[in-house]
Amino acid sequence: MANRDSNDGDVIANLELMVQVAEKYYVDQLTQAQIAEMYDISRSTISRLLSRARDEGIVRIHIVRPQLRQSALEERLRTQFGLSEAIVIGAQQWSVQADAIRRLVGAEAAQFVDPLIKPNSFVGVGRGRTLAEMAYGLSKLATPRNITLVQLLGDIDIQHSLARGAEITRLLCEGYSGAGYFLNAPALVPDRQLAQLLMQSTNIQQVSSLYDRLDLALVGIGALHNSPLVLAGLLEEPEIQRLAAAGAVGDICGHFYTAEGILVDEAYPGVSIGISWQQLLACPQLVVIATGSEKVAPILGLLRIQMIDVLVTDERTAEQVLLDSSAASSL
């Protein structure tokens, strides 16, 4: 056995052998001892081959929870709002912390969003905490697809954060072996003249020129009073009050809108650096992921103008969206 183990490093590097061992173990259901005997290599090498097969995505293990997707709610959302797809993850317990709900929805939804990312496509990437969780899940499922990933909004945090657009874009670039284009600018610039100068820079124009080429965009949305824009200090209290007075309930990629989906960017004295509202509307497939009661009004605003193509959310948020929509239509 010692002589056989001396070549373990070479054996583990053999991709074809790795695939064969994985098939014998997971498909044919042979034991590791039987496979070791068949290939005349040690059991420890078989174990390492199986571990590496999982690490490299040759073997994917997914635990399917009963009632994971809420098909009845999904159908109601598709029918009522004309969505191409709705992904509603069962998570009834709103007593659970919001971070736990975001992790659950992001992790579980990734398997259903991954097939939407086609080879050779241009994919826009937004920002947000739930989107970051889904991006982490996607990175575990990803295979090389020669895609181009484009950051849609300048960054919000001056400190490192997994919810930053640049970080999410980088994570997906690594997972899908894609080419990444990063927007090296702040998300909001309070001075319009300065913002115009920034947007004329060569680096930003190179990125923004790709927005019209998008096949798909993955974005989160923010509630006005608890969005990352507010938490990061990019919106001051007087600006929040002006936006609220104009009817703003949230933002998407730095653009503020009402519960009816009306753009009210003019209530903010500055400019967002990134994709335009018109380009978001024109995107062939806009995937929005959002969870929590504070996201109900922002979700409804975008649904009412049919900006969203695919909605990813949790069960309780979906129920409240449908309830509030019915209540509004009965007035």
Q: Would 61 be classed as within a structural domain? A: no
Q: pLDDT value at position 251? A: 95
Q: Would 66 be classed as within a structural domain? A: no
Q: Would 300 be classed as within a structural domain? A: yes
Where does the pLDDT of residue 179 fall: very low under 50, low under 70, confident under 90, or very high at 90 and above? very high
Please indicate, yes or no, whether residues 37 and 123 belong to a single structural domain of this protein: no
Please indicate, yes or no, whether residues 24 and 83 belong to a single structural domain of this protein: no
CATH for 44? 1.10.10.60
Range list of β-strands (E), the chain: 85-89, 122-125, 148-151, 179-181, 188-189, 216-223, 248-252, 255-258, 271-272, 286-289, 310-314
Residue that terminates a domain, selected from 30, 55, 80: 55
Q: pLDDT value at position 51? A: 86
- Give the chain's domain count: 2
**CA 158 to CA 96: how far, in whole Å?**
29
Q: pLDDT value at position 2? A: 42
Q: pLDDT value at position 65? A: 52
Q: Would 162 be classed as within a structural domain? A: yes
Q: Would 142 be classed as within a structural domain? A: yes
Q: pLDDT value at position 327? A: 84
The model's pLDDT over 55-73, given as tens digits with 9 standing for 90+, comes to: 888 887 655 454 589 999 9
Percent of the chain with pLDDT over 90: 62
The model's pLDDT over 221-252, given as tens digits with 9 standing for 90+, comes to: 999 987 777 777 778 889 999 999 999 999 99
Where does the pLDDT of residue 43 fall: very low under 50, low under 70, confident under 90, or very high at 90 and above? confident
Q: Would 197 be classed as within a structural domain? A: yes
In this model, does residue 305 exceed pLDDT 80? yes
Where does the pLDDT of residue 159 fall: very low under 50, low under 70, confident under 90, or very high at 90 and above? low
**pTM, to two decimals:** 0.78
**CA 230 to CA 92: how far, in whole Å?**
28
**CA 10 to CA 8: how far, in whole Å?**
5
What's the whole-number average pLDDT of the chain? 88
**CA 159 to CA 161: how far, in whole Å?**
6
The pairing of strands 255-258 and 179-181 is unpaired
Q: pLDDT value at position 232? A: 72
**CA 270 to CA 149: how far, in whole Å?**
27
The model's pLDDT over 86-131, given as tens digits with 9 standing for 90+, comes to: 999 997 654 457 888 999 999 999 999 999 999 999 999 999 889 9
Write out the residue range of the structural domain in which residue 280 sits: 71-329
Residue that terminates a domain, selected from 29, 55, 81: 55
CB 288 within 8 A of CB 220: yes
Please indicate, yes or no, whether residues 178 and 253 belong to a single structural domain of this protein: yes
Residue that terminates a domain, selected from 31, 55, 79: 55
Residue 208: name the closest of 262, 274, 269, 292 by CA: 274
Q: Would 272 be classed as within a structural domain? A: yes
Please indicate, yes or no, whether residues 146 and 223 belong to a single structural domain of this protein: yes
Q: What b/e sequence results for 253-290 when a residue is b if at least 16 CB atoms lie within 10 Å of its CB, and e otherwise? A: bbbbbbbebeebbebbebbbbbbebebbeebebbbbbb
Kindly report the backbone phi and psi dihedral angles of residue 65, in degrees, each rounded to the nearest multiple of 5, phi listed first: -80, 140
Please indicate, yes or no, whether residues 97 and 227 belong to a single structural domain of this protein: yes
Of the candidate ranges 40-54, 160-174, 192-206, the one whose mean pLDDT is the lowest: 160-174
Please indicate, yes or no, whether residues 21 and 127 belong to a single structural domain of this protein: no
Q: pLDDT value at position 314? A: 95
Of the candidate ranges 15-24, 228-237, 263-272, 286-295, the one whose mean pLDDT is the lowest: 228-237
Give the DSSP H or E segment for 316.
helix 315-329
Please indicate, yes or no, whether residues 119 and 170 belong to a single structural domain of this protein: yes
Across the range 285-313, mean pLDDT stands at: 97
**CA 218 to CA 89: how far, in whole Å?**
17
Please indicate, yes or no, whether residues 191 and 324 belong to a single structural domain of this protein: yes
Please indicate, yes or no, whether residues 46 and 147 belong to a single structural domain of this protein: no
Q: Would 64 be classed as within a structural domain? A: no
Q: Which residues contact 296 (CB under 8 A, 6 or more apart)?
A: 317, 320, 321, 324
- Cα torsion at 11, 13, 16, 17 (round to 10°)? 20
Percent of the chain with pLDDT over 70: 89
Please indicate, yes or no, whether residues 126 and 269 belong to a single structural domain of this protein: yes
Which residue has better confidence, 262 or 164?
Answer: 262
Please indicate, yes or no, whether residues 132 and 179 belong to a single structural domain of this protein: yes
CATH for 287? 3.40.50.1360
Please indicate, yes or no, whether residues 42 and 97 belong to a single structural domain of this protein: no
**CA 248 to CA 255: how far, in whole Å?**
10
